[in-house]
Amino acid sequence: RATARALDAAAAHLADPGPRTRHAAAAAVHAAWQSLLAAGHPTPTRRALERLVVHAETATAGAVPDTFPGDLPAAPVLAPDPDRLRSWARQTRARGPVPTPPPAPGTSDELFGIESERAARRATGRRDARRALLRSLAPGSPLLPIGVRALIGCALAGYVSQAAGVGRPYWAIVTAASLYQANVTLSWNRALQRTLGNLIGVLVFAAVLPVSRTGPLALIGFCLFFGFAAEALITRNYWLGSVAVTPMALLVLEFGGTHPAGELIGDRVLDTVIGAGTGLLAAVLVTNRRAGGRLEKALAATELARARAVSALAEPRTDPAALDAARRGLTGSLVELRDADDTAAGEWWQRALPQEQVLAAERAGHRTLAATATRQGLLAPAPENGAV
C-alpha cells in the first residue's frame, strides 16, 4: 500500500508539477522506503516493490535538487509516464503479482544504499543500544517529551479511573502506557487499535465465559488458546492481538475465584475508554517540537558525512581504512536521518519539514555509498538497463 501511494503521488506530481505535489510525492516516497526497511528481511516481492519505489523516486527527483558541490555524477533522470505509474500502483494493490518494470536509472545504487541501511540496523550491538539510551535521557533529547507524555498520561488515567469508582484502575494505566509511540500520529493509530481490540475482546470474553466456568480444564484451555493467539497476532496486527489479550486477561482473574461478569466487562470497557482518552490528551498537550530540530541536525550530519566520503573518493590513493570509516559513517547518518524524519513527520504543531531536502540527501547518499562500495570491491558496476 505504501509503494502504491508513492507511485500515485509521483504520478500526480508529473501531471501537475508544483511545490504541493512535489512535497506530497517526496513524503510518500520516504514513507514507502520506511515501510520496506521495517518489513524485515528482503524477499523477491519486497525487492520488486523497492524497484517500483525507485521509479517513483526518479519521477519525483526531476524537480528536486539532489546534487551538492563536489558531488559524484548522477545518472540522468528520465521521468516515466504518469499513466504508467498509476497502472503500476493499481497492479501493486491488486491480488496478482507485483509488476516488474525495467530498472529505473540509479536502481542499483539506490538498492545498495537501502541494503546498507538495513545491514546497519541489524549490526547495532548492545553497547550502541546503551549509548543511544543514555543519549535519549540526556537534557535536550527529542525523546524526553515522549517520556513526559507517558508520565502525565498514565498518572491521569489512574486518577480518573479511581475517581470514577472503577475497581481495577491499573487497567486504565496499562492502556495509556500502551499508546505511546514515536509521535502523535502513531500514538493515535495505536489508540484506535487498542480501543477496538479491547472492545471486541470483551465481547469474546462474554461469549466464552459460560463455557470456561464448566470446569478447570476448560478455563486452562481457553487461557492457553488466547495466550497462543496473542503471541501469534500481536506482532502482525496490534488490534487483533488485543482481541486475544483482553479475554485472556479477564479469564486469568477466574483462577482466584468467580467474579460477576457484568462487573468485569464494565470495568474493562470503562478503563479502556479512560486510558485511551487521557493518554491521547497527554500526547496532544505535551508537544515535541524538538523532533524538527533533530531532523535538521540529522540532515546536516548526513551532508557532512557525504562530503567526507566524497573527499575520500577524490584522493588518488585512498586509505582503505579511511574509506571504510567514511562509508560506515555515511550509512549510520542515513539511518539516523530516516528515523528522525519518520518521527518528525508524525508530530503536530511543527514547522514545515524539509521533505525535498531529505529525499535529495538520501538519493545522493545512496549514490555515494555505491561509489565507495565499488571502490572497495564490494559492489560491481551494473548497467542500468539490465537486470539488477
Residue 124 has pLDDT above 70, yes or no: no
- pLDDT value at position 387? 42
> What are the tens digits of pLDDT across the range 127-168?
777 887 787 778 888 888 999 999 999 999 999 999 999 888
- pLDDT value at position 79? 52
| Separation of first and last alpha carbons in the chain | 23
Q: Are residues 22 and 54 in the same domain?
A: yes
Task: Please state, in angstroms and rounded to a whole number, the distance separating the CA atoms of residues 104 and 131.
Answer: 39
Q: Are residues 33 and 55 in the same domain?
A: yes
Residue 49 has pLDDT above 80, yes or no: yes
Among candidate residues 128, 130, 180, 171, the one with its CA nearest the CA of residue 152: 180
Q: Are residues 148 and 273 in the same domain?
A: yes
In a domain, 153, yes or no: yes
Helices vs strands, H then E, count in the chain: 15, 0
Residues 380, 123, 300, 342: what is their CA dihedral angle, to the nearest 10 degrees?
110
pLDDT band, very low/low/confident/very high, at 382 (cuts 50, 70, 90): low
Q: Are residues 155 and 259 in the same domain?
A: yes
Q: Are residues 16 and 112 in the same domain?
A: yes
DSSP secondary structure code for residue 142 in this structure? T
In a domain, 22, yes or no: yes
In a domain, 78, yes or no: yes
Q: Are residues 83 and 151 in the same domain?
A: no
Q: Are residues 52 and 173 in the same domain?
A: no
> What are the tens digits of pLDDT across the range 339-359?
888 889 888 887 788 888 998
Look at 134 and 324; give whichever has higher pLDDT.
134
Q: Are residues 115 and 168 in the same domain?
A: no
Residue-number span of the structural domain to which 353 is assigned: 294-376
Number of domains in the chain: 3
Residue % of the chain over a pLDDT of 90: 44
> What are the tens digits of pLDDT across the range 74-106?
444 445 689 999 999 999 998 889 998 888 776
The DSSP-derived string for 232-243 is HHTTT-HHHHHH
Q: Which of 285, 320, 336 is the last residue of a domain?
A: 285
pLDDT band, very low/low/confident/very high, at 388 (cuts 50, 70, 90): very low
- pLDDT value at position 172? 95
Q: Are residues 298 and 276 in the same domain?
A: no
Q: Are residues 246 and 362 in the same domain?
A: no
What are the Cα distances from residue 157, in Å, to 171, 274, 304?
9, 6, 45
Flag whether the pTM goes above 0.95: no
Q: Which of 285, 319, 342 is the last residue of a domain?
A: 285
- pLDDT value at position 39? 80
